[in-house]
Structure 1
Amino acid sequence: MTGTLAASLWFRNYQPAPEAPVRLVCLPHAGGSASFYFPVAKALSPHVEVLAVQYPGRQDRRYEQPAADIETLADAVAEQLEPLDDRPYALFGHSMGAIVGFEAARRLEAAGRGPTELFVSGRRAPVHDRHGDRQPRTDEQVIAEIRSLNGTGDGLLDDPEVLEMILPALRADYGAVRRYRFRPGAALTCPVTAFTGDSDAKAPVDEVRGWEQHTVSSFELNVLPGGHFFLVDRADDVVSVIGEHLARTSAMTP
């Protein structure tokens, strides 16, 4: 197991916690990278080992071709997770990462290796999918969208070199989200816990509540102050909820 994890291009383990009884696998938003979850890894260690997923096409994988669709990302994440069978794990995804996590969870449950819980953030339920009708299509629209969501640090989008580096991943990710189509199937058997900001127009509370329809297990909705990236300002609140849930998982682990 250890060798498989160390050799994987897909996971970044910023705070190794070999004695932790449970893992949390974190999936980034569109244009995001594994390092977004460094604070989460630091906050949850050593009780939870956090693996942050690094999609192709960014940071140290920037020379790889980004995935063209959500299904390809979900297939790859599920394939990478299947061998990591030494302890239970949960999935957390923000925005696009929530959909990747959901689709990966479906695949992993079908293979008999499902997560103990799916945490989703800043994303309407798949049952309320709008077929990407509001997703930006041109580079200019993508940049304007990121600015409006406060999805990058101040001034980064004004730096031509930074923009040239991050735009291919942004372009690919927004295209993948735009093309995503929810395919009805069996509901998840693991609990689903959802988070959203009370002023997030991309993930209205009523549509986030729809995640309840995607599990036959328990569902919990947490509404916090903020917009689409409420997670940045309310990280402590989100991490606290996740930590409490995973502590219960740990208590039930033999």
Structure 2
Amino acid sequence: MSLSSGQPATRWLRTYRPVAVPRLRLVCFPHAGGSASFFRSWPQKFPADWEVSAVCYPGREERIAEPDITSMAELAGRVADELAPHMTLRTVFFGHSMGASVAHEVAALLAGRGAGPAALLVSSRAAPHLLRRLSDGDLTDEKLLATVGGHGGPGAELLQDPEMRELFMPPIRADYRLLEAYVAEPKAPAVDIPVVAYFGTDDPQPAPDEVRAWAELTSARCEARAFPGGHFYLRLHEAELARDIRERLVALV
């Protein structure tokens, strides 16, 4: 399903509850190895005239036959091109983990075109200048499995099954190659929009101070909000997170 507003269908964006005339659009960016369906339940948590869309990365779900993208510049550029026609509507980005970095890069690209989002919400992600590599060499499957399992993300238990691992490991491996290369690259310029940085109090990485450092990437205000839990705190606190987002964005609409 595509964004509403009369634009052509796009395989890059999925909207589970299209709105004929949206008052605000929330675009969500999934984590490494994640897919748009991670946000399937989100539309019901927001007002009926808010449209919630999720970015569909190549190499997973209905795009599983497409090659993965392992360059942040290419991924952000492709997403920015797809979103650009829709940015006439007041839009907010939410990105979780890797998705926070993608959302930030896309926001910076669109701002450079004069059509950036109204706010950037980042989750479980250190500020770009404080990101650290996972490995000094090649990331083995064992290292990736340990990382994914340690985060406790959706479907992590499926990776213990060899057949499921063969299906799900390619996009995970591609996303982590992208992240490892991104850490060494120059970071996106600061944005001049409000930023809210969310994190789990029990998440060992990023540390709270690394999340709060997003304040150094915006000339506007930046606030941080903690929830109990680890890297995927939002699985247990989805309703509370959505409530916090609604309260913060009400001034925009």
The TM-score range, normalised by the shorter chain, is: over 0.9
DSSP-derived class of the 2:230 partner: coil
CA distance 1:104–1:135, shift in 2 (3 Å): farther
What is the aligned partner in structure 2 of residue 96 from structure 1?
A: 98
What is the aligned partner in structure 1 of residue 234 from structure 2?
A: 231
Query: Which of 7, 25, 28 lines up with 2:27 in the alignment?
Result: 25
CA contact (8 A) 2:5 2:20 kept: no
DSSP-derived class of the 1:127 partner: helix
1:140, distance to aligned residue in structure 2 (A): 1.8
Residues 1:188 and 2:230 are matched in the alignment: no
Residues 1:50 and 2:48 are matched in the alignment: no
Residues 135-172 of structure 1, C-alpha deviations (whole Å, 9 max, x = no match): 98111211121111111336412333322211110000
Residues 112-146 of structure 1, C-alpha deviations (whole Å, 9 max, x = no match): 00000000000000121224547981112111211
What is the aligned partner in structure 2 of residue 7 from structure 1?
A: 9
CA distance 1:178–1:184, shift in 2 (3 Å): closer
Residues 74-128 of structure 1, C-alpha deviations (whole Å, 9 max, x = no match): 1111111110134110100000000000111110100000000000000000121
What is the aligned partner in structure 1 of residue 139 from structure 2?
A: 137
Query: Which of 235, 240, 245 lines up with 1:242 in the alignment?
Result: 245
Per the normalisation by structure 1, the TM-score is 0.92
Q: Indicate the larger mover: 55-64 or 236-245.
A: 236-245
Where structure 1 has 5 or more consecutive residues not aligned to the other structure, the ranges are none
Residues 1:214 and 2:220 are matched in the alignment: no
Distance in structure 1 (CA, Å) of the matches to 2:45 and 2:124: 20
What is the aligned partner in structure 2 of residue 65 from structure 1?
A: 67
1:3, distance to aligned residue in structure 2 (A): 4.5
CA contact (8 A) 1:189 1:217 kept: yes
Q: Indicate the larger mover: 157-166 or 171-180.
A: 157-166
CA contact (8 A) 1:26 1:51 kept: yes
What is the aligned partner in structure 2 of residue 108 from structure 1?
A: 110
The 5 A counterparts of 1:110-129 are 110-129=112-131
Distance in structure 2 (CA, Å) of the matches to 1:93 and 1:57: 19
CA distance 1:105–1:177, shift in 2 (3 Å): same
Per the normalisation by structure 2, the TM-score is 0.92
What is the aligned partner in structure 2 of residue 78 from structure 1?
A: 80
CA distance 1:154–1:130, shift in 2 (3 Å): closer
DSSP-derived class of the 1:83 partner: helix
CA contact (8 A) 1:58 1:169 kept: yes
Distance in structure 1 (CA, Å) of the matches to 2:188 and 2:62: 36
DSSP-derived class of the 2:52 partner: strand
1:42, distance to aligned residue in structure 2 (A): 2.2
Distance in structure 1 (CA, Å) of the matches to 2:120 and 2:207: 19
CA RMSD for the aligned pairs? 1.8
Distance in structure 1 (CA, Å) of the matches to 2:136 and 2:154: 20
Distance in structure 1 (CA, Å) of the matches to 2:51 and 2:82: 16
Residues 177-217 of structure 1, C-alpha deviations (whole Å, 9 max, x = no match): 11103525642011000000111111110110100000000
DSSP-derived class of the 2:199 partner: strand
What is the aligned partner in structure 1 of residue 170 from structure 2?
A: 168
CA contact (8 A) 2:148 2:156 kept: no
Distance in structure 1 (CA, Å) of the matches to 2:6 and 2:162: 39
Q: Indicate the larger mover: 44-53 or 153-162.
A: 153-162
